[in-house]
Amino acid sequence: MTAQVSTRFLTRTAATWLSAGALFFTAQHALANGRYPKADQLLIAPDDPQFLAVRTTFGVLVSGDSGQHWDWICERALGYSGIQDPTLGLMEGGTLIASLSEGIARSANQGCNWSFSDADLSGAPVIDLSVRRDAPNQALALVWDAQRIGYSSRILASDDNGRSFLPYGTAIDPTVLVTTLDTAPSNPHRVYASGTRSVDGVRSAWLFATDDDGANWRQHPVPFEPKLEQGVYIAAVDPQDADTLYLRTSSATVSRLLVSHDGGQQFSVAYSGSLLAFSLSPDGKQLYFGGEGGLYAGLASDLQFEKRASLRVLCLATSADSIYACSDEHSGFTVGASSDGGSTFEPLLHLKTVRGPLACSASECDGDWPLVRAQLGIPLPSEADAGADAGDAAEDPRGDAGAEANADDAGSQGDASSTPEQPTSAAKRSSCAIGVSRASSRPGLGSLLAFAVTALSRRRRSRARAHLPAK
């Protein structure tokens, strides 16, 4: 298994639910859900380091060749629409799961054939997910149940690769709004959860820990400035030491990185500044974090950090030999990889190089692609390009004809509940990419956008959940 310690950092689903509203951009900069395109979570498959999944503001991007090529999965294919930032989890055999307000979406074959996991949710949103790094066929899910005032929190667990989720342990104090949870790789019974409690309008932050699978929870206060900080989130748990964990406070100005070496009984401040992403090396000895001010790194043993790069850091993930970072095109890439400790990065993803909808999700995503393509700045192929593309197709098995054939095959397979759950081979993954058809005559960009907006509006009238069967 490829060791990986990466973090969601800020639970985007929780942040969306907690925010009073969303920022919208002008039409020339907005995607279908009204947000500027960006990537802010990256995962590496635990048993296939070449398979990467990236959460974006316009769906999910997947790569089966270590980031050399990227294909798009639209929000509708997962089972949601509008503004959501689901936490993603990568499990055994290329199984992807996502926390949605509609449920836990699951694909057993690297982004194809999505359905909902079997879970007793009663309409409650799923806020966070955590896949066990020591046992990637197991995962935990954090659920919020609406109360007369506010929400209460509960945890569900899966031990069958995300097919079903059952109640986990006892409920955490209902006066605390839990926002993140994580597991300890070195102790299968240790789980942490973080959240805030409000008394007379004053918030305080708390960490909960269990050593008996949630039967009993210990609670510890977390350093918190209620006038400046909005929440506290688990950044990572050391893979070798279950008592060492890292938390981040959120703030509109300066966030703090907190570290505890005794299971949360005491915390020290390791860093203050812009903090949007965090990751540990697979052995837990090296820390990487960053935000608006660049990428920093240092040893966990002394917590002395140096700035490695000046790019804007939106997500981080580490493997045995690489550091992956999400950034923006102003920094030179949307996703990049570093083999020298974060000093330099090789661009892996530019938004304008996304190839198009993943073939197996083409039926749900083709209608949205023209608008998304225009907003990502992907140029329409010219007549001159058509000849070059034809030559490329002869050399590349991912050409349009092969992709269309695979799209037909995917359509005949039905949903995940009727498809054998076998890991997708690299050859099948590469043939799953679909290109946009190259017609000899095309409408102008304005007509294309108008058509796409009309089609998108019509499709969004149906609830996204109707497209995903419940298992």
User: Residue 442 pLDDT more than 70?
Assistant: no
Long-range (24+ apart) CB contacts under 8 A made by 325-330 are 325/277, 325/290, 325/295, 326/38, 326/39, 326/40, 326/41, 326/42, 326/54, 326/277, 328/38
Return the bridge partners of 49, or none. none
Q: What is the mean pLDDT of the chain?
A: 81
Give pLDDT, residue 148: 80
Average pLDDT over residues 446-461: 42
Percent of the chain clearing pLDDT 70 (strictly above): 74
Average pLDDT over residues 142-148: 90
pLDDT level of residue 107 (50, 70, 90 thresholds):
very high
Alpha carbon 436 to chain centroid, angstroms? 25
3-class DSSP state of 28: helix
For 88-184, where are the E strands, in sequence order? 88-90, 96-99, 104-109, 112-116, 118-119, 126-131, 139-146, 151-158, 164-167, 176-184
What confidence tens digit (pLDDT) does each residue in 214-228 have? 999 999 999 999 999
Token output for 63? 């790569």
What confidence tens digit (pLDDT) does each residue in 325-351 have? 999 999 999 999 999 999 999 999 999
What confidence tens digit (pLDDT) does each residue in 174-190 have? 999 999 999 999 999 99
So where are the chain's domains?
5-173+247-352, 356-467
3-class DSSP state of 245: strand
Average pLDDT over residues 164-175: 94
User: Residue 417 pLDDT more than 60?
Assistant: no
CATH class held by domain 5-173+247-352: mainly beta
pLDDT level of residue 81 (50, 70, 90 thresholds):
confident
Establish how many alpha carbons lie within 13 A of residue 312's alpha carbon, considering only the half-sphere containing its beta carbon. Answer: 13
User: Residue 64 pLDDT more than 80?
Assistant: yes
